[in-house]
Amino acid sequence: MNSILVSVLWGILLMYAGFLTKNKRSISVLAVVGAVAVLSANALEYMGLSFFDIDTKGMLFYNPYSYIFLVVIHASLLLYFLLSGTEVEETAATPSDHYALIFFVASGISIIAGFKSLLMLFLGIEIISIPLYVLAGSDKSNLKSNEAALKYFLMGAFSTGLMLMGIAFLYGDSGTFYLEGINMGATEMSPLKAIGGVLILASMAFKVSAAPFHFWTPDVYDGSPTVFTSFMATIVKSAAFFAFIKLFEGAFGKIQGQWQVLLAVITALTLIVGNITAVFQQSVKRMLSYSSIAQAGFMVMGIFAMNLMAKQGLVLYFAAYSVASIAIFAVLAKLKDHSVDAFNGFAKAHPLVAAVVLICLLSLAGVPLTAGFFAKYYMLVAVLKNGTMYWLPVLAIVCAAVSVYYYFRVIQAMYFKETEAGSVAEIQFSSSFKVIMVVCALLIIGLGIHPDWLMDLL
């Protein structure tokens, strides 16, 4: 609740800050302060200090799990601002408005971190989605950005329609919008509930870009300004996953066995499509888009399993995935050229940044001693613990091996290839940027060596 309030207020503050100052830098600083404020507000509430106390009629309820999830999200947000602040300033005509939108999204995330009613889910998702449509199209003179925005908007609205239809059917079945109410009742699914479940599953799959509802993802991520792609692909996607698991655990937890087949199909398709298609990509940005689908495949496994292991692991996955991706996107945003070859000789020109990118890529690939390994590990344990469909983890690791192929192409370019014209050498990285990058690397390695630092909180 604290974080909803603070992020909304900070959004409004930034909105007006645009009138007060034209200095983009100070607006970025304000945004960073805002992220810290949101983070600390949430942390305070986690520790028991709530700014206000209202009766939500049970529509919002936060448990430690939600709080830790929000801590991860807000920390990622902070890192994102720190690393990509300058890009926001450059990309956006009015950074204050864009920051405001991001803070509104953050408030939406805070809402879905605690929703107990489908109404709040719906509102939360819309509060997240609508600013994103705008952010995707924020490079207004760029046709790719326009295209991304319109595609995202049309398909997003369509998926909202599916979700609402699903909600309607669920309501028709149970007469309530509360998750507990939906979860009660017969252990055999009625047709109404089944249809509602499938529809809402489809729309959630859409939001987390799980196949076969992923088609918007590569185009939108590719077309949007890189700095906002970073935001969409990491923080927002994590939030969507959180909503996903919260919804399915809350509303369908009792009848898990009856929809697991669908999720298995989704997982398999997502893994295959994401990984196999990423292999072909020549642009790192588009490769990362597909990789985000591939990573989603692993996360869907957590929803498929939906046991304690999966729930804990998902938060770790969010952290691992978000931090690594934010860092890589931050570097990518500084490169003019997004092709793999643009990274040639990067390690020689910028050894420190290259090392961090390396660690991030290793983490994405799931190499041990990085957070990404334990993230994937938890997912595998969760699925195996589930006790059915052993082919799923096998498929997952085969796909993880495939993922090594495209992640390592970047590593190979950075470390083993020579640059042609010194293009990478021209890029400047400020020392503060480097410091934050190192922090990212340390986070990844720290969680890779001792994930219990995070897991113990859950």
Partner 1 sequence: MQVMPINYYIFLSVALFTIGIVGVLTRRNAIIIFMCIELMLNAVNVLLVAFSKMHHLNAFAADQLTTVGTEAQLFVFFIMVVAAAEVTVGLAIIVMLYRNIHSVDINFLNRLKH
Partner 2 sequence: MNKFVFLIPLLPLLGFLINGLGRNYLGKSLVSIIGSGVLLASFALSVAAFNWVNAPGFKPEVIFYFDFIHTGGLRIPISFLIDQLSVLFLLIITGVGSLIHIYSAAYMHEEAAPHFARYFAYLNLFVFSMLLLVMGANFVVMFVGWEGVGLCSYLLIGYWFGNNEYNKAAKKAFVMNRIGDLGFLLAIFWMIGQFGSISYMEVFAKAPTASVAVITGITMLLFVGAMGKSAQIPLYTWLPDAMAGPTPVSALIHAATMVTAGIYMIARSNVLYTLAPASQDLVAIIGSATALFAATIALKQNDIKKVLAYSTVSQLGLMFLALGVGAYTSGVFHVMTHAFFKALLFLGAGSVIHAMHHEQDILKMGGLKSKLPITHLTFLIGCLAIVGIPPFAGFFSKDEILIAALQKNPVYYVLAVATSLMTTFYMFRLYFLTFGGNFRGTDHQWSHLHESPFAMTFPLIALAVLSVVGGWIGIPTLFMEDAHRLSNFLQPVIAPPSEVHHLEHSVEWMLLGAVLTLVLVAILLAARRYGKNFKVENTETGLSKLLANKWYVDELYDAIVVRPLDALGAFLGRVIDNRVVDGVVNGVGKAVQFGGRQLRLLQSGQVGSYVLLMVASLIAFLILQLFWKP
Partner 3 sequence: MPLSEILFWFLTALALFSALMVVFSDNPIHSVLWLIMVFFAISGHYILMNAQFLAIVNLIVYAGAIMVLFLFVIMLMNMNTDAEPQKSQWMRIAAAVSGGALLLILVAALKDNAGAVSRTSGEGSIGLIRNLGKVLFTDYVLPFEISSVLFLSAMVGAVVLGKREKNSKPVNH
> What is the contact surface with partner 2 in residues (CB under 8 A)?
151, 154-155, 158, 162, 191, 194-195, 197-199, 201-202, 206, 212-213, 215-216, 218-219, 259, 261-262, 265, 272-273, 276-281, 402, 405
Q: How far is the CB of 179 from partner 2 (least distance, A)?
A: 20
Indicate the residue among 9 and 134 with the shorter CB distance to partner 1.
134
Q: Which does 343 bind (CB under 5 to 8 A by kind): partner 1, partner 3, partner 2, none?
A: none
Indicate the residue among 49 and 398 with the shorter CB distance to partner 2.
398
* Omega prior to 191 cis, within 30 of 0: no
Q: How far is the CB of 376 from partner 2 (least distance, A)?
A: 19
Give me the residues that bind partner 3 (CB under 8 A), please. 4, 8, 11-12, 15, 54, 56-57, 59-60, 93-94, 97-98, 100-101, 104-105, 107-108, 111, 119-120, 123, 126-127, 130-131, 133-134, 137-138, 140-144, 149, 172-173, 190-192, 194-195
- Residue among 365, 370, 355, 364 nearest 437 (CA): 355
* Torsion sign, CA atoms 413, 429, 231, 225: negative
Q: How far is the CB of 107 from partner 3 (least distance, A)?
A: 6
* Omega prior to 393 cis, within 30 of 0: no
Q: Return d(Cα 28, Cα 33) in angstroms, integer.
A: 9
Q: Which does 341 bind (CB under 5 to 8 A by kind): partner 3, partner 2, partner 1, none?
A: none
* Torsion sign, CA atoms 271, 275, 278, 280: negative
Pull the structure tokens for residue 115. Answer: 């929703």
What one-letter code names the amino acid at 124?
G
Measure CA 88 to chain center.
Answer: 18
What one-letter code names the amino acid at 127?
I
Q: How far is the CB of 276 from partner 1 (least distance, A)?
A: 13
Q: Which does 262 bind (CB under 5 to 8 A by kind): partner 2, partner 3, partner 1, none?
A: partner 2
Side-chain half-sphere of 434: how many Cα atoms within 13 Å?
11
Indicate the residue among 149 and 330 with the shorter CB distance to partner 1.
149
Indicate the residue among 247 and 411 with the shorter CB distance to partner 3.
247
DSSP secondary structure letter of residue 224: S
Indicate the residue among 223 and 297 with the shorter CB distance to partner 1.
223
Q: How far is the CB of 158 from partner 1 (least distance, A)?
A: 6
Inter-residue contact 6 to 40 (CB < 8 Å): no
Q: Which does 333 bind (CB under 5 to 8 A by kind): partner 1, partner 3, partner 2, none?
A: none
- Residue among 130, 262, 126, 249 nearest 199 (CA): 262
Indicate the residue among 96 and 203 with the shorter CB distance to partner 1.
203
Cross-strand pairs, 115? 60
Q: How far is the CB of 173 from partner 1 (least distance, A)?
A: 9
Q: Which does 223 bind (CB under 5 to 8 A by kind): partner 2, partner 1, partner 3, none?
A: partner 1
Pull the structure tokens for residue 207. Answer: 């939001």
Q: Which does 212 bind (CB under 5 to 8 A by kind): partner 3, partner 1, partner 2, none?
A: partner 2
Inter-residue contact 289 to 222 (CB < 8 Å): yes
Indicate the residue among 155 and 445 with the shorter CB distance to partner 2.
155
Indicate the residue among 130 and 457 with the shorter CB distance to partner 1.
130
Q: How far is the CB of 361 from partner 3 (least distance, A)?
A: 29
DSSP secondary structure letter of residue 190: P
Q: How far is the CB of 429 from partner 3 (least distance, A)?
A: 27
Q: Which does 157 bind (CB under 5 to 8 A by kind): partner 3, partner 1, partner 2, none?
A: partner 1
Q: How far is the CB of 202 from partner 1 (least distance, A)?
A: 12
Q: Which does 377 bind (CB under 5 to 8 A by kind): partner 2, partner 3, partner 1, none?
A: none
Q: How far is the CB of 175 from partner 1 (least distance, A)?
A: 4
Q: Which does 97 bind (CB under 5 to 8 A by kind): partner 2, partner 3, partner 1, none?
A: partner 3
- Residue among 218, 214, 217 nearest 203 (CA): 214
Q: Return d(Cα 443, Cα 370) in angstroms, integer.
A: 9
Q: How far is the CB of 141 from partner 1 (least distance, A)?
A: 7
Helix (H, G, I), strand (E, B) or coil at 178: strand
Inter-residue contact 96 to 4 (CB < 8 Å): no
Give me the residues that bind partner 1 (CB under 8 A), please. 119, 122-123, 126, 130, 133-134, 137, 140-141, 143-144, 146-151, 153-154, 157-158, 160-161, 164-165, 167-169, 171-172, 175-177, 218-220, 222-223, 280
User: What stretches of 92-177 show up as alpha helix (H) in DSSP?
Assistant: 95-112, 118-136, 143-174
Q: Return d(Cα 437, Cα 435) in angstroms, integer.
A: 5
Pull the structure tokens for residue 297. Answer: 């495949």
What one-letter code names the amino acid at 143?
L
Region of 58 on the Ramachandran plot (φ > 0 left; ψ -120 to 50 alpha; else beta): left
- Report in angstroms the alpha-carbon separations of 327 from 82, 184, 274: 10, 43, 21
